[in-house]
Amino acid sequence: MTHKQIILVPTQKNPETNTKENPSLSLSLSLLSLSPSLSVSAMTSSSSPSRKALSKIACNRLQKELSEWQVNPPTGFKHKVTDNLQKWIIEVIGAPGTLYANETYKLQVDFPEHYPMEAPQVIFVPPAPLHPHIYSNGHICLDILYDSWSPAMTVNSVCISILSMLSSSPEKQRPTDNDRYVKNCKNGRSPKETRWWFHDDKV
């Protein structure tokens, strides 16, 4: 997995796309493992992607991921399952010995119709952790959530990568372009509508 830093430029997409909300599936996780991370500067687009019902392949894949977690949950993970597969709320606890030790945050994961061929949308539910690659609106600059996504990845591996990104940070601060980016992300715009350039593998 490549980790880089980014600078963003706004792109305009179709503003008429509608977002359909679904009841949420909650998973409470305490994550202790690590894995590389990245991100930095960004700018946005103009609309969030429409959410269509999950395909049969997506449903089967997510049910498999949940079953594997129940049978053999990763160390430090706790989960609570509800009826809906398309939106998960995941609780993450900062790893010991890091700036975020014992701090609790929530991730929201929205799965597209053609998951895992298409990456899920993953954001922090505000208040988001202070981090150079995490915006105050919860958007995360991490390559595996966008250009570097692979169908072989899972919710488990995404969570571990995000925890690694937190754990490797030497300081708590927002991205330098936070205010501008967040201002351009009104009306529920998706981070997947942002054009991200990654070139920082330090954090």
Annotated active-site residue 185? The verdict is no
Q: CA angle, 156 as apex, 155 and 160 as ends, to 5°?
A: 115
Distance, CA of 170 to CA of 100 (rounded, Å): 10
Q: CA angle, 157 as apex, 72 and 100 as ends, to 5°?
A: 100
Cβ distance 90 to 33 under 8 Å? no
Could you count the other beta carbons within 10 Å of the beta carbon of residue 12? 10
Strands 25-28, 87-93: pairing is parallel
Please pick, among 59, 141, 159, 185, the residue that the annotation labels catalytic: 141
Q: Which residues are catalytic?
A: 141
